[in-house]
């Protein structure tokens, strides 16, 4: 089961600190390989806190570690970085700015995808 949710990206303290260590550092990887979700969305999608979630858009897909956060239902947050940018399209609506916030994304538990395949 997957659901279409809304993705926003942004800065976190750990992402900034990891960036200084290097984008190939464990700190950066750990800081950017996560998705924060609404706990009820996670329960419905059978995604455990600390478990893997698969996020997919027309641009690509990426597996991230899911964490329960204080997000409203239907919204997921991923720290800015190389991983989430696999999901972001290049349409800028004539402004130069891609949809780093507000893009729709299909979200599923990773185990389910493995079961289906």
Partner 1 sequence: MSTVVEHVTCPFCGCLCDDLTVEAEGVEIRKVRLACSSGQGIFMDYDPRPRRPLVDGREVEWENAVAEAASILSAADSPLIYGLSSSASEAQRKAVALADRIGAVIDSTSSVCHGPTGLAMQAVGEPTCTLGEVRDRADLLVFWGCNPDASHLRHFPRFSLTAKGALTPNGRADRTVYVVDVRPTGSSKKADHFLQVDVGSDFEVLTTLRLLVKGKEPSVDTVGGVPVAQLKELVERMKSCRYGVAFMGMGLTMAPARQLNVAELFTLVAELNEFAKFSVLPMRGHGNVTGADQVLSWTTGYPFAVSFARGYPQFSPGEFSAVDMLARRAADAAVIIASDPGAHFPAAAAAHLERIPTIVLDHGPSVVASHARVVFPTAAYGVDAAGTAYRMDNVPIPLKRVISTGRLTDEEILDRIIEAVA
**71 vs 115, which CB is nearer to partner 1?**
71
Return the residue of 51, 98, 112, 113 that touches partner 1, per CB under 8 A.
Answer: 98
The H-assigned helical ranges of the chain are 13-21, 26-32, 39-44, 110-116
The C-alpha atoms of residue 94 and residue 72 are separated, in whole angstroms, by 30
Site for partner 1 (CB under 8 A): which residue of 90, 115, 116, 117?
90
CA–CA distance, 108 with 91 (Å, rounded to integer) = 25
Minimal distance, residue 15 CB to partner 1, in Å: 9
Using CB under 8 A, which residues numbered 22 to 81 contact partner 1? Answer: 22-24, 59-60, 69-72, 75, 77, 80-81
**DSSP state at residue 47:** P
Question: Do the Cβ atoms of 50 and 65 come closer than 8 Å?
Answer: yes
Binding site for partner 1 (CB under 8 A): 6, 8-13, 16-17, 19-24, 59-60, 69-72, 75, 77, 80-82, 85-86, 88-90, 92-102
């Amino acid at each position: 089961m997957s659901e279409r949710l809304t993705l926003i990206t942004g800065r976190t303290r750990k992402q900034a600190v990891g960036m200084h260590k290097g984008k190939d550092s464990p700190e950066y990887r750990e800081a950017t390989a996560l998705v924060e979700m609404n706990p009820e969305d996670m329960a419905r999608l059978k995604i455990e806190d600390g478990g893997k979630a698969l996020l997919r858009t027309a641009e690509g897909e990426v597996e991230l570690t899911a964490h329960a956060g204080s997000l409203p239902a239907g919204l997921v947050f991923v720290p800015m970085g190389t991983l989430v940018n696999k999901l972001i399209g290049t349409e800028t609506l004539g402004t130069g700015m891609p949809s780093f916030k507000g893009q729709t994304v299909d979200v599923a538990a990773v185990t389910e995808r493995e079961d289906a395949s």
